Amino acid sequence: MHSVAAFTDTYLPTVNGVTYTVRTWCERWRERGGRMAVVFPGAPGYEPGPEADEHPTRSVGFPFYEGFRLGLPAVPTPVRRADPSVIHAHTPFALGLSALYLARRTDTPLIASYHTPTAEYADYLAAGPIATAVEGVAERYERWFMNRASVVVAPSEPARDHLREVGVTTPVRIVPNGVDAEFFAPAGRGATTAFRARHGLPEGPLVGYTGRHGYEK
């Protein structure tokens, strides 16, 4: 099986869609006998286990987004020595640039995942016309980064279409993130009844939401 080096600018203990996807891909790949190292910004509250092929880098706090830390560009020595056959950038920021650097230096294929438009985060940095300008810069940078990958992975057709709209010419493959069908399984009538009783809910349709309450959501 191929050895993969995954680089991500967001990881545990922060819980979000990118973190969940990276963890899921790692678990499924390892179940199939592959190796996947993960390079991520180190953060208080999470220490990789002794068997985990995880490599935290130095990081600094990001004042505009609570819980997010900026990883400093780095390629850990164990990851470089492992000579990965595929390098996977899950994000285009500091550690994504580290992935690009390693791919170029070793002439290794670079896969770039497109999890979310970076322009969505402009409102964290500014407002009004300045936010619009930041969005434009973000889209240009996004195009520059994605066009340096061997292939881009997008979770849906709208995401692929957006990449084309901003000028990404790299081949784009749609790979849905998927859902853990064992964890997110129907609970059964008994569990539903107990949930209603626990929260004092009447009979009738219930609508639930699973996700984080970030500003951009």
Burial of 114 (0-12, 13-18, 19+ CB in 10 A): buried
Greater model confidence, 191 or 156: 156
Q: Is the four-CA dihedral 187, 190, 193, 195 of positive or negative sign?
A: negative
With contact defined as beta carbons under 8 Å apart, do 201 and 192 qualify? no
pLDDT at 1 exceeding the cut of 70: no
Q: Tell me which residue of 53, 54, 37, 41 sits closest to 10, measured CA to CA.
A: 41
**pLDDT tens across 40-94, in order?**
999 999 999 878 899 999 999 877 677 778 899 999 999 999 999 999 999 999 9
First to last CA, the chain: 38
> Of 3, 214, 206, 61, which is closest to residue 123 (Cα–Cα)?
214
Residue with the bigger pLDDT between 167 and 117: it is 167
What confidence score (pLDDT) does residue 217 get?
65
Give the predicted TM-score (pTM) of the model: 0.87
Please report the pLDDT score of residue 150 as a whole number: 98
Pairing mode of beta strands 172-174, 35-41 = unpaired
Calculate what percentage of the chain has a pLDDT beyond 70.
92
Q: What percent of the chain has pLDDT over 90?
A: 63
Residue ranges and CATH numbers for the domains of the chain are 3-180 (3.40.50.2000)
The per-residue pLDDT for 125 is 60
> Quick check: helix, strand or coil at residue 113?
strand
Give me the residue label for tokens 């973190």: 19
DSSP 7: E
Q: What angle do CA 60, 9, 101 make, to 5 degrees?
A: 105
Tens-digit pLDDT profile for residues 89-131: 999 999 999 999 999 999 999 999 999 887 666 665 666 677 6
What is the H or E stretch that residue 28 is in?
helix 17-31
Range name among 3-17, 65-79, 154-168 with the lowest pLDDT average: 65-79
